[in-house]
Amino acid sequence: MENAILFFISTEIPSILGIMKTNHAGQPRDRAAILADISAVGHAIAGTLTEKRRELKGGGSAVYYQLQRWEGGRNVTVHVPSDKVGAVRAGIAGRERIEALLEEVSAADTAEALDGCDDAKKKRLKPSGASPAGSRGSRRPRSTR
């Protein structure tokens, strides 16, 4: 049963979240399809939504929301009214989706640019005095005069 749950999580959750980066053939998706997905994202809001709880004098607590983001090298915090929290959360999710899609575009562009290139690793040259085994243990011991 545990394996079935792990299989579901590893195969279904990424596709539900829209973060599968390759098609069924293992190749990056077409650039036009990725750009269409980017244009379908509604709003994109940079930052993190934080929840702040404050104790009230008469007892109980109040919940406040803040949007924190970096602007010009500084941390900027803005109060978010409670009726706008859902829209801000959706905007933050949109920003995360766009960032994932941009990585996917980059992978597709890289694959297209390198199409037909030799994928073999560059051979490493051995130093002139290297032993055939290439390990330090195969060297001759030093004389102990």
Segment 38-58, tens digit of pLDDT: 999 999 999 999 999 999 988
CA 54, 57, 60, 62 dihedral sign is negative
Cβ pair 113, 65 in contact under 8 A:
no
Which pairs with CB-CB distance under 8 Å and at least 24 residues apart come from 122-128? none
The candidate with the shortest Cα–Cα distance to 88, out of 145, 45, 29, is 45
pLDDT band (50, 70, 90) for residue 128:
low
Q: What residues does each domain of the chain span?
A: 2-115
Entry pTM: 0.59
Question: Quick check: 134 pLDDT over 60?
Answer: no
State the Cα torsion 28-31-37-41 to the nearest 10°.
110
* 104-113 pLDDT per residue, tens: 999 888 888 8
Mean pLDDT of 16-27: 53
